Amino acid sequence: MVQVPETTLRAIAEQLDRPVEGDPETAICGVASIVSAGPGDLVFARASNYLEALSPGAAAAVIAPDGVDVGDRAALRSDQPELDFASALEWMTRAWRPAPGVDPDATVAPDAELDPSVHVGPRAVIGAGAVIGAGTVLHAGSVVCAGARVGRDCIVHPTAVIREGAEVGDRVWIHASAVIGNEGYGYTFDTNGRPRKIPQVGRVVLEDDVEIGAGTTVQRGSLDATRIGRNAKIGDLCVIGHNSVVGEDVMMIGHTAIAGSVTIERGAIIMGQVAIGGHLTIGAGALIGARSGIHKDVRPQARVYGSPAMEERAWHRSTAAVSRLPELFRRVRDLERRTDGGDGEPES
């Protein structure tokens, strides 16, 4: 279980606008999965069979759909129990944010603009002309460089860096060691054929409600802006190349790498360890399977897998065919030996 500030089921129900079944004054002091729940915990269940793992006396209350038997426990009835559990957890843990104020070990430029409700942790650095919105938390060792703007109610975790001129919207989470606005990989060649750097002078824009995973880098545009759309969720250790545009509600799992000038349209899902070549478009609502290599545009709503990637049905056929290759080779060698008098041995 995880302890949370004690509250009542009534208070949670009011936040979620859900009906209470049982005692509304039931005390809630923790949250847990069904298998680890103890007294005083809130859990959720999608169906009755999920509750079979609850030990006697475990869980003070359950968020569950109508008709799910919760025994003698109190319940909040919901047709979206997991979503409501997430909302309840977010509300109950709001007090975990540190108090406003600037730590004495932080460095803040004299002309930086900080709302009085901002928290700045030890050894954090805020550069000249930076603007930090109300309720934002900058944890220890985080850096907001000159001219960057960070909106309201953001969380910037330890050692994350927001580079010069970057623009971060409201309610954005940037996890540890992420870098927003580092220079992109842009080079040309001189007359001797040696690579020469092209200065990357654009910026990065993170719209409202974006989340950036730990260790992820979002490269600044070479001349324009790299943009991450509203409510996009980027996993850990991803690389987003310069001038790319990631649309609203896109989900990108960890270890994905996107080359420059890629457009990912709204609601696409990019699974782990995907590589996407430059100047391509991933259509709205597309799904790209894990470890796929994308070398051409992907149409909206497509489901593609593999490297090189192909649409799902073709990928299943190809995978099935590959699994049959050893047997096919053996049969061909046997056939050659019988018809041509070859002396080759059958494949094992």
Place of tokens 């470890």: 291
* Whether 251 contacts 284, CB under 8 Å: no
Q: Look up residue 329 and give its DSSP letter.
A: H
Could you give the maximum distance between any two Cα atoms of the chain, in Å? 89
Q: Is the dihedral of CA 196, 257, 138, 136 positive or negative?
A: positive
* Sheet strands side by side (includes 269-270): 101-102, 119-120, 137-138, 155-156, 173-174, 211-212, 233-234, 251-252, 269-270, 287-288, 303-305, 310-311
End-to-end Cα spacing for the chain: 53
**Distance (Å, whole) CA 290 – CA 305:** 7
Preceding peptide of 100 cis, ω within 30°: no
279 has catalytic annotation: no
Q: Which of 119, 139, 157, 242 is catalytic?
A: 242
Active site residues: 242
